[in-house]
Structures are given as C-alpha cells and as structure tokens.
Amino acid sequence: MRRVVLDTETTGLNPDLGHRVIEIGAVEVVNRRVTGRTFHTYLNPEREIDAGAVEVHGLTRDFLADKPRFPDVRAEFLDFIAEAELVIHNAPFDVGFLNAELRRLERDDDLRRYCREVLDTLKMAKDLHPGQKNNLDALCRRYEVDNSGRAYHGALLDAQLLAEVYLAMTRGQDSLAIESFLTPPPRARQGAVQAALRVLPASAAELAEHQAYLEGMARECGQVPSW
C-alpha cells in the first residue's frame, strides 16, 4: 500500500479569485512506514500574496521570484503521486488549488486522474473526535507528535507531521485483530509460548458430574445430546 501525504501553501484562500499554489510538500508512506522519499518545491505565483497568507506561512513574493513555475514541476509532481492514495488535511482546499493549477495547462484536468484516491484526515479526525479542535496542531498534541519546530506553516514540514498523525490515528486499522490468533508466532518465540501454556485436565469428580449432567439433559430431551 503506497500513500503520499501532501500539503500546499497558497497566496490566498480562493483559487477562483486567481490565488495560486506557492509551495508543495509530499511524503511517501509505504506499508505504514515513512520511506524518506519526499517531493518539495516552492513556486513563483506571478502575483501578489495576501498579507494574511504571509502571516501564516512566511513566504513573500521576493523570496519566490526566482522559483520555478507550476508547469516546470508538473511532470515530476504527478509522477511522485502516481497511483498512490493521497492523504491530505482538509483535502478539498488543497485539491481545489492543485486542480486550478492543472486546469490552467489543460482544461478539465483533475488531480484524481493521477492518484488512486484522496483521503481527508480532517474529516476522519472530526469523526473520531467530534466537537473538538482538529487542526494539525491540535492533532499533534492529541497524538503526541512533536511539532515544536513549527513556527510557520510549511508544506513539507506539515506533510511530515501529518504523516505521523495519520499513522497514529489509524494504528491497528490495517489488519483484523483475529489475525493474531490465526498467524503462528515467530519461530524463535514458539517454544516460549508453548512453555507458558498449562493444561489442566478435569478431575474424576468433575468428569462424573459432567456425565451426570448430560444424562439428565438426555432424559429431559428424550435424546442424547449431539455433542
């Protein structure tokens, strides 16, 4: 199972008003392990950045002036997320912005054409913790994920934190508990497990009492119990 935990930073809140993506960060998780593979880029938005947005992520137009534009990184980005399940906090926001970037280059393009599915961890958190704060900082505190280095929002840092939060939120959900009974213990532990088991046979008195109980049931039912 390959997942990509993803986050973006933007010039504002609404792509329909011409706001743009200015940072993409993504972290690969395979079989519930962070692999160390990441995708990260800053982007030149070719427009002003709302003051409120700068207060959140600290990215200015001057800093982004020499950074690549989205068309320059499109192929590499789509290759990184290809066939993966995307894990995004407040997915409609990020997907909406990324779709706006894709559709500037190709009308009717859609992020979901390239990934397997999109999982919204904000919705998941609200289902798990109704009535509580479920932003990334709150989830880091709840699941004891260290976010002490998060002075500003940053796409790659937030994706790394979200990967840890997601794994904590979903711990134990990828396998059925019954598997622990069906799967033999590792060979090195089998002897210890077997040695720990004690067999307590029934005593003669207990066997006689059980037989008398069965005979009583047979008389009441008019037939011998099948077991």
Q: Which residues are catalytic?
A: 153
What Cα–Cα distance (Å) separates residue 222 from each residue in 91, 194, 210? 66, 42, 18
189 burial class (0-12, 13-18, 19+ CB within 10 angstroms)? Answer: exposed
Q: Helix (H, G, I), strand (E, B), or coil: what is residue 41?
A: strand
For residue 21, what are its two tokens?
């993506």
Q: What's the one-letter identity of residue 204?
A: A
Q: Order of strands across the sheet with 2-10?
A: 33-42, 21-30, 2-10, 85-88, 117-120
For residue 210, what are its two tokens?
């059980």
